Amino acid sequence: MTRPAPRIDLFDVRPEDERAYAFARDLRAIEALLFTSAAPVDARALKPHLSAGADLDALMEALTADYARRGVNIVKAAGGWMLRTAPDLARVVAGPAPEARKLSRAAVEVLAIVAYHQPVTRAEIEEIRGVSTSKGTLDVLLETGWVRLRGRRKAPGRPVTYGTTPAFLVQFGLDAVQDLPGLDEMKGAGLIDGRLPAGFAIPLPSDDPSLREDEEALEPLDLTLSPPPSDDEEGGDDAEEPAPSARGDA
């Protein structure tokens, strides 16, 4: 049986008990940093504010256990930690929901391909989908902040490669892209039936920001995004025209 993490309050320890006092002070520092950040806070951002030799794993275990009983919980997301409303209280704090733009089926498919196959080019996305991919679809995903330009493939035409962002992980409640469901989980959820081609597999995703051997860095001009597409541009991809056997990729 797992023992609950100890609750240590700064006012329960004496300054002369240096270790306990430093631990309690570090808990308060982490709490303050999480409270003032809208994005996940990772270990690299936390450690400069902690005492020398602080055990960050022990600190986060204690603080997470303490917050588990509260209306706000500490959750892991995008390689860091953040505060989120306890799931059972979501209705209490929910206000009028902003009108969200629903992603087209094509955009959802492209997002899934980018997540599992990154780094991936537009031509590779089309090869996997078997249909042409509208530039508007990729623009929408770039606009959401869930997909980013990674680099350029060292291949004729130097096509752009795409990958996911920390915002994608936060949006879908993932600590790392490796937490995406695998083949067995998809089968268990009924998303994939048992009649699969021999050798069918789902790749182990990786969003390592380092460029691969077959990638090169983007140039400053590459980072200038095109204007947001119109509804017609983004929706036009649903026509699903067969992808050409060979295609250039900007």
The CA-atom distances, in angstroms, between 30 and each of 27, 55, 92 are 5, 12, 26
pLDDT per residue as tens digits for the range 57-104: 999 999 999 998 888 899 888 889 998 888 888 777 766 655 556 888
Backbone torsions φ then ψ of 152, nearest 5 degrees: -130, 140
Q: Looking at the structure, tell me whether residues 171 and 136 fall in a common domain.
A: yes
Asked if residue 110 belongs to a domain, the reply is yes
Q: Quick one: 24 and 142 in the same domain?
A: no
CA–CA separation, 108 and 56 (whole Å): 37
Say yes or no: 117 and 178 in one domain. yes
Name the domain count of the chain.
Answer: 2
The residue range of the domain holding 80 is: 10-88
Give pLDDT, residue 245.
45
Looking at the fold, whether 132 and 201 belong to one and the same domain comes out as: yes
Query: Are residue 170 and residue 208 in the same domain, yes or no?
Result: yes
142 and 79, same domain (yes or no): no
pLDDT at 92: 79
pLDDT (mean) for 28-48: 91
Would you list the DSSP string of 112-173? HHHHHH-SEEHHHHHHHHTB---HHHHHHHHHHTSEEEEEEESSTT--EEEEE-HHHHHHTT
What are the tens digits of pLDDT across the range 94-116?
666 555 568 888 898 999 999 99
Neighbours of 60 (CB within 10 A): 19
Mean pLDDT of 222-235: 48
Last residue of a domain, one of 62, 88, 114: 88
**148 near 164, Cβ under 8 Å?**
yes
- Sign of the C-alpha dihedral computed for residues 39, 42, 48 and 49 taken in this order: positive
Instruction: Find, among 68, 57, 51, the residue nearest to 10 by Cα.
Output: 51
Same domain, 113 and 235: yes
Residues 141, 232 share a domain: yes
Do 80 and 120 belong to one domain? no
- What CATH number corresponds to the domain at position 42? 1.10.10.10
Span of 46-50, 57-61, 70-74, 179-183 with lowest mean pLDDT: 179-183
Note whether residue 71 is domain-resident.
Answer: yes
137 and 166: one domain? yes
Q: Kindly report the pTM of this predicted structure.
A: 0.61
Check whether residue 122 and residue 199 sit in a common domain. yes
36 and 144 share one domain: no
User: In this structure, what token pair is assigned to residue 3?
Assistant: 């023992």
